[in-house]
Amino acid sequence: LAQIGAFNIHPSLLPKYRGPSPLQSQILADEKERGVSVIKMDERVDHGPILASSSFDDTDRSFIELGIELFKAGTKLLINELPRLMNGEAKLRIQNDTHATFTKKFEKTDGALDPEGGREAWLKYLALSHSPGAYFTFREKSGGVRLKITAAKFEAGRFVPLRVIPEAKREMSYQDFLRGHK
Protein backbone atom coordinates (compact mmCIF):
# COMPACT_ATOMS: atom_id res chain seq x y z
CA LEU A 1 0.00 0.00 0.00
CA ALA A 2 2.85 2.42 0.69
CA GLN A 3 3.64 2.71 -3.01
CA ILE A 4 0.17 4.10 -3.84
CA GLY A 5 -0.01 6.66 -1.01
CA ALA A 6 -2.46 7.56 1.73
CA PHE A 7 -6.21 7.83 1.19
CA ASN A 8 -8.92 9.73 3.02
CA ILE A 9 -12.69 9.29 3.29
CA HIS A 10 -14.21 12.77 3.07
CA PRO A 11 -17.94 13.21 3.85
CA SER A 12 -18.89 15.42 0.89
CA LEU A 13 -18.89 15.36 -2.89
CA LEU A 14 -15.54 17.03 -3.41
CA PRO A 15 -14.52 19.60 -4.41
CA LYS A 16 -17.55 21.02 -2.55
CA TYR A 17 -17.29 21.42 1.22
CA ARG A 18 -13.55 21.16 1.74
CA GLY A 19 -12.41 21.85 5.28
CA PRO A 20 -13.30 21.11 8.90
CA SER A 21 -17.11 20.93 8.81
CA PRO A 22 -18.45 19.32 5.62
CA LEU A 23 -21.33 17.51 7.34
CA GLN A 24 -22.65 20.51 9.25
CA SER A 25 -22.21 22.80 6.25
CA GLN A 26 -24.19 20.48 3.93
CA ILE A 27 -27.03 20.31 6.45
CA LEU A 28 -27.10 24.09 6.96
CA ALA A 29 -27.14 24.62 3.18
CA ASP A 30 -30.10 22.20 2.97
CA GLU A 31 -28.29 20.18 0.30
CA LYS A 32 -30.55 17.57 -1.24
CA GLU A 33 -27.75 15.53 -2.80
CA ARG A 34 -25.20 14.41 -0.25
CA GLY A 35 -22.26 12.13 -0.67
CA VAL A 36 -18.81 10.92 0.16
CA SER A 37 -15.48 11.02 -1.66
CA VAL A 38 -12.40 8.83 -1.30
CA ILE A 39 -9.31 10.84 -2.16
CA LYS A 40 -5.59 10.31 -2.38
CA MET A 41 -4.11 12.74 0.11
CA ASP A 42 -1.73 15.44 -1.05
CA GLU A 43 -0.12 18.46 0.63
CA ARG A 44 -3.36 20.52 0.64
CA VAL A 45 -6.46 19.90 2.74
CA ASP A 46 -9.15 17.84 0.94
CA HIS A 47 -7.51 18.59 -2.40
CA GLY A 48 -6.09 15.30 -3.68
CA PRO A 49 -7.36 13.34 -6.68
CA ILE A 50 -10.61 11.42 -6.26
CA LEU A 51 -10.53 7.62 -6.35
CA ALA A 52 -14.31 7.23 -5.99
CA SER A 53 -17.43 9.02 -4.83
CA SER A 54 -21.00 8.09 -4.10
CA SER A 55 -24.09 10.24 -3.69
CA PHE A 56 -27.69 9.91 -2.60
CA ASP A 57 -30.69 12.17 -2.06
CA ASP A 58 -31.13 12.96 1.59
CA THR A 59 -32.56 15.56 3.94
CA ASP A 60 -33.40 15.96 7.59
CA ARG A 61 -30.71 13.78 9.11
CA SER A 62 -28.67 14.92 12.06
CA PHE A 63 -24.92 15.43 11.95
CA ILE A 64 -24.41 12.05 13.67
CA GLU A 65 -26.85 10.11 11.45
CA LEU A 66 -25.45 11.62 8.27
CA GLY A 67 -21.87 11.01 9.39
CA ILE A 68 -22.51 7.34 10.10
CA GLU A 69 -24.19 6.86 6.71
CA LEU A 70 -21.45 8.65 4.76
CA PHE A 71 -18.53 6.94 6.49
CA LYS A 72 -20.13 3.51 5.97
CA ALA A 73 -20.53 4.32 2.27
CA GLY A 74 -16.97 5.67 2.11
CA THR A 75 -15.55 2.56 3.74
CA LYS A 76 -17.31 0.35 1.18
CA LEU A 77 -15.96 2.54 -1.65
CA LEU A 78 -12.43 2.32 -0.30
CA ILE A 79 -12.59 -1.47 0.14
CA ASN A 80 -13.98 -1.93 -3.39
CA GLU A 81 -11.87 0.61 -5.27
CA LEU A 82 -8.42 0.31 -3.70
CA PRO A 83 -7.75 -3.17 -5.16
CA ARG A 84 -8.97 -1.90 -8.55
CA LEU A 85 -6.49 0.99 -8.34
CA MET A 86 -3.65 -1.34 -7.40
CA ASN A 87 -4.23 -3.60 -10.42
CA GLY A 88 -4.73 -0.67 -12.83
CA GLU A 89 -8.51 -0.92 -13.32
CA ALA A 90 -9.40 2.33 -11.49
CA LYS A 91 -8.13 5.82 -12.26
CA LEU A 92 -7.77 8.87 -10.05
CA ARG A 93 -9.71 12.02 -11.11
CA ILE A 94 -8.24 15.45 -10.49
CA GLN A 95 -10.62 17.77 -8.59
CA ASN A 96 -11.87 20.85 -10.41
CA ASP A 97 -10.68 23.66 -8.13
CA THR A 98 -13.01 26.17 -9.79
CA HIS A 99 -15.93 24.32 -8.15
CA ALA A 100 -14.32 24.13 -4.71
CA THR A 101 -16.15 25.49 -1.68
CA PHE A 102 -14.73 25.73 1.82
CA THR A 103 -16.20 25.20 5.27
CA LYS A 104 -15.39 26.87 8.56
CA LYS A 105 -14.86 25.64 12.10
CA PHE A 106 -18.05 26.30 14.05
CA GLU A 107 -17.87 28.18 17.34
CA LYS A 108 -20.23 27.98 20.30
CA THR A 109 -21.98 31.21 19.23
CA ASP A 110 -22.85 29.63 15.86
CA GLY A 111 -25.32 27.35 17.68
CA ALA A 112 -27.67 30.23 18.58
CA LEU A 113 -31.00 29.85 16.81
CA ASP A 114 -34.38 31.53 16.63
CA PRO A 115 -36.99 29.01 17.83
CA GLU A 116 -39.51 30.79 15.58
CA GLY A 117 -37.16 30.30 12.61
CA GLY A 118 -38.96 27.32 11.06
CA ARG A 119 -36.84 25.24 8.72
CA GLU A 120 -33.73 27.36 9.25
CA ALA A 121 -33.88 26.64 13.00
CA TRP A 122 -34.46 22.94 12.27
CA LEU A 123 -31.41 22.75 10.00
CA LYS A 124 -29.25 24.54 12.56
CA TYR A 125 -30.44 22.07 15.22
CA LEU A 126 -29.65 19.07 12.97
CA ALA A 127 -26.22 20.43 12.07
CA LEU A 128 -25.00 21.84 15.37
CA SER A 129 -26.86 20.20 18.27
CA HIS A 130 -24.06 17.67 18.78
CA SER A 131 -21.25 20.20 18.57
CA PRO A 132 -20.94 23.07 19.38
CA GLY A 133 -24.56 22.78 20.61
CA ALA A 134 -27.85 24.39 19.52
CA TYR A 135 -29.53 26.82 21.89
CA PHE A 136 -31.74 29.87 22.21
CA THR A 137 -32.43 32.44 24.88
CA PHE A 138 -35.93 32.28 26.34
CA ARG A 139 -37.38 35.77 27.00
CA GLU A 140 -34.16 37.46 25.98
CA LYS A 141 -35.50 40.99 26.56
CA SER A 142 -35.97 40.41 30.30
CA GLY A 143 -32.55 38.92 31.01
CA GLY A 144 -33.47 35.55 29.60
CA VAL A 145 -32.60 31.94 30.24
CA ARG A 146 -30.30 30.14 27.84
CA LEU A 147 -31.75 26.77 26.78
CA LYS A 148 -29.60 24.10 25.16
CA ILE A 149 -31.82 22.02 22.87
CA THR A 150 -31.31 18.26 23.23
CA ALA A 151 -34.33 17.05 21.25
CA ALA A 152 -36.60 18.71 18.70
CA LYS A 153 -38.84 17.99 15.74
CA PHE A 154 -39.94 19.79 12.60
CA GLU A 155 -43.69 19.69 12.21
CA ALA A 156 -46.03 21.60 9.88
CA GLY A 157 -43.27 24.05 8.97
CA ARG A 158 -42.44 24.79 12.60
CA PHE A 159 -39.39 24.07 14.72
CA VAL A 160 -40.57 22.44 17.95
CA PRO A 161 -38.15 22.04 20.89
CA LEU A 162 -38.93 18.84 22.82
CA ARG A 163 -36.18 18.65 25.46
CA VAL A 164 -33.95 21.40 26.82
CA ILE A 165 -31.28 22.03 29.42
CA PRO A 166 -31.69 25.42 31.10
CA GLU A 167 -28.44 27.01 32.34
CA ALA A 168 -27.24 25.32 35.56
CA LYS A 169 -30.21 22.91 35.56
CA ARG A 170 -30.99 19.36 34.53
CA GLU A 171 -32.51 18.28 31.23
CA MET A 172 -36.31 18.53 31.08
CA SER A 173 -39.11 18.57 28.58
CA TYR A 174 -39.66 21.95 26.97
CA GLN A 175 -43.29 21.82 28.13
CA ASP A 176 -42.18 21.37 31.77
CA PHE A 177 -39.83 24.31 31.38
CA LEU A 178 -42.65 26.48 29.96
CA ARG A 179 -45.00 25.51 32.83
CA GLY A 180 -42.41 26.84 35.29
CA HIS A 181 -41.89 30.10 33.36
CA LYS A 182 -45.38 31.48 32.72
pLDDT of residue 142: 66
Over range 36-65, report the average pLDDT.
93
pLDDT of residue 133: 94
Least confident of 2-11, 13-22, 137-146: 137-146
Least confident of 26-35, 42-51, 142-151: 142-151
pLDDT of residue 140: 61
Q: Model's pTM, two decimal places?
A: 0.89
- Check residue 111 and report its DSSP letter: G
Q: Which fold has domain 2-99?
A: Rossmann fold (3.40.50)
Q: What is the pLDDT of residues 52-90, one digit of tens each?
A: 999 988 888 899 999 999 999 999 999 999 999 989 899
pLDDT of residue 102: 97
User: Would you say residue 158 has pLDDT above 90?
Assistant: yes
Q: What is the pLDDT of residues 97-112, one digit of tens each?
A: 999 999 999 999 999 9
Q: How far apart are CA 86 and CA 5, in angstroms?
A: 11
Q: Residue 43: left if φ>0, alpha if ψ -120 to 50, beta else—which one?
A: alpha
Where are the domains positioned within the chain?
Answer: 2-99, 108-179
pLDDT of residue 4: 82
Amino acid identity for residue 27 in this structure: I
pLDDT of residue 141: 64
Task: Say what the alpha-carbon torsion angle 64, 65, 66, 70 is, to the nearest 10 degrees.
Answer: 100
pLDDT of residue 77: 96
Task: Kindly report the average pLDDT of the chain as a whole number.
Answer: 93
User: Would you say residue 177 has pLDDT above 80?
Assistant: yes
CA–CA distances in Å: residue 47 to residues 18, 85, 174:
8, 19, 44
User: Would you say residue 166 has pLDDT above 80?
Assistant: yes
Q: How far apart are CA 93 and CA 49, in angstroms?
A: 5
